[in-house]
Structure 1
Amino acid sequence: MKAKKNVTLSIGFKEKQPSSRKSIEKKPQKLTERDLKNLMGIDRPIYKRGRGRAFRQQ
């Protein structure tokens, strides 16, 4: 019987080489005061339970 040889297929992928360039630092994202308040949820309506256990806007 013949022994099968291990066959590797060349798909065309290249191994990633370490880049010689220095890493580029990203500038910090500047958010406005309005954006920060929106992210924190400050300007959202407030709901509480009222009489009859129904939600009402305060």
Structure 2
Amino acid sequence: MKTKKNVAQNVGFKEKQPSSRKSIEKKPQKLNERDLENLMGINRPTYKRGRGGAFRQK
């Protein structure tokens, strides 16, 4: 049996229905060795302080 309080709460509100869309699954991105090394910064130029405190490429 519904009371006036329960009826008043449900007025104007619709219950959510589950969406009919299927969830889209993302494929894991496969990276080769060259891409991984580039991301990690392995092949970057190295610098060292030279005479007078200036940076020079090693």
Range into which the TM-score falls when normalised by the shorter chain: 0.5 to 0.7
Aligned length: 42
Which residue does 1:19 correspond to in 2?
Answer: 19
User: Normalising to structure 1: TM-score of the pair?
Assistant: 0.61
How many percent identity over aligned positions? 86
Runs of 4+ with >2 A deviation: none
**Contiguous gaps of at least 5 residues in structure 2:** 1-16
> 1:1-58 to 2 correspondence within 5 Å?
19-58=19-58
CA distance in 1, matches of 2:43, 2:18: 48
CA distance in 1, matches of 2:20, 2:47: 57
SS in 1 for 2:56: strand
Note the C-alpha offset of 1:21: 2.7
SS in 2 for 1:56: strand
User: Normalising to structure 2: TM-score of the pair?
Assistant: 0.61
Note the C-alpha offset of 1:48: 1.1
After superposition, the C-alpha distances for 1:15-46 in whole angstroms (9 at most, x for unaligned) are xx853132021110011110111111110000
Which residue does 2:14 correspond to in 1?
Answer: none
**Contiguous gaps of at least 5 residues in structure 1:** 1-16
